[in-house]
Amino acid sequence: MAVHRDFNWRCLTPEPGHYFFGYYDRCPWNADTSKHLALHVGQCARLPERGETADVGYVPRDGSGFVKLVETRAWCHQQGAMTLWLKHRPDTFIYNDFDLDRNRLLARIYTLGTGITGAYDRPLYAISPDGRWGVSLNFARIPRRGYSYADAVLATEQHPDLDGDGLFLVDLHSGESRLLVSYRQIIAIHPVPYELGSMYWWLNHAIFNCDSSKLLFLFRHCDDQREGQGWKTHMYTVGLDGSDLACPLPHFYWSGMISHHMWGRTPNEIVIDANWRGKGFEYVVFDERVRPLQAKRISEGMGPMGHVVFSPDGESMLADTYPIDGIQSLARVNVASGACEVLGRFRHEQLEEYPADVRCDLHPRWSQDGSLITVDSIHSGDRKLYMLEC
């Protein structure tokens, strides 16, 4: 099934079966873009159950087949197993897993041709662009289970350990980790701390900026952690030394009017898909240091709620949409002119049959040099990886 008459999208994964990578805020390619990390799973109709595994491996750029390397119990349909290549160790990547012996999540280290060569004591959420740091958080507190793992059993406590839990920084060279920001520190600068008493709290979506000097993350809370619905979102930023903790995007800006976020072209720029004017979503950027927030518009949006990510050279953005009449679109946005060039329209009618967090978003991703784009899609039936050469 063609997704665009002018662009040649090529399937990278075998038939039949479900294959995907996961989220949009990370690069799946190794250094020479010969291998693309991927998962193979047995089903895409429900959330994973405890003990259910996914195959972890890669697909060659020529689409010659999926190479299974190992299995993991820590995976979800939206974000995979957080598979990421390590810059300081050739042909080596990490993936999250559940360690049965220690009854806890961790990040395993896998080297091609050798196998598992070590582990980090904490599961990793993201890796800094310079390859030195990883960030970790408590997956068991995430009530939206499509963004956590079945073996990370949902916490029952409304509030976490205020001084022992929060956002953790992991040194990928030494393996040492430390608490970077505690919940107590987060609450201390919360815009409306008095509303938090009876709420359930968690952290999610931690991302490093372009020069590996800062992190942004989301602090969320809701009334009922069993559903994770009706949450409020406050975006925080912090330096890797723990300095400059701030809340540049409180819920008052976020509420129903922002979908996704990403660091931008400079160390302090953040890009979001926002509908503040009530005239449809638009791609806007702001400097997270400026108070009050002052946004600049890049272009009109593509539709309801999309994932946006800058190209490595900062001259373009990829932007997808949630489905409109069963179609999810992907565009390349010219940052200078604001022009949106549609690269593909993917029919995802099966989304209506899936639980919300099992849906297949495109989650567009660039290669390191900006010459390749990949997405996850179900337009052919099974969940597959597709690649476009720019």
Q: Which tokens is 58 given?
A: 């890669």
What separation in angstroms does the CA of 178 have from each of 122, 145, 340?
A: 10, 26, 42
Q: How far apart are CA 28 and CA 367, in angstroms?
A: 7
Determine the average pLDDT of the residues in 76-87.
Answer: 97
Q: Are 309 and 24 in contact (CB under 8 A)?
A: yes
Domains of the chain: 10-389 (2.130.10.10)
pLDDT digits (tens, 9 = 90+) for 299-316: 998 877 789 999 999 999
* Contact call for residues 217 and 206 (beta carbons, < 8 A): yes
Q: Cβ-count burial of 242 within 10 angstroms (0-12 exposed, 13-18 middle, 19+ buried)?
A: middle
pLDDT tens, 231-251?
Answer: 899 999 999 999 999 999 999
Please report the pLDDT score of residue 306 as a whole number: 85
| Dist. CA 350–CA 359, nearest whole Å | 8
What does the pLDDT read at residue 228?
56
- Please name the amino acid found at residue 21: F
For 152-177, the pLDDT digits (tens) are 999 999 999 999 999 999 999 999 99
> What does the pLDDT look like over 179-204, one tens digit per residue?
999 999 999 999 999 999 989 999 99
Q: What is the pLDDT of residues 38-48, one digit of tens each?
A: 999 999 999 99
% pLDDT > 90, the chain: 85
Give the pair of three-digit tokens for residue 102: 């220690």
Q: Tokens 């991927």 belong to which residue? A: 38
Residue 268 has pLDDT above 80, yes or no: yes
Task: Name the average pLDDT for the chain.
Answer: 94
Name the residue among 84, 92, 87 with its Cα closest to residue 22.
84
Tell me the whole-structure pTM to 2 decimals: 0.96
Predicted pLDDT of residue 326: 85
Strands (DSSP E) found in 90-157: 92-99, 104-111, 115-120, 126-127, 133-136
Q: If pLDDT is split at 50, 70 and 90, which confidence band does 6 have?
A: confident
pLDDT in tens, 203-225: 999 999 999 999 999 999 998 77
Residue 353 pLDDT exceeds 80: no
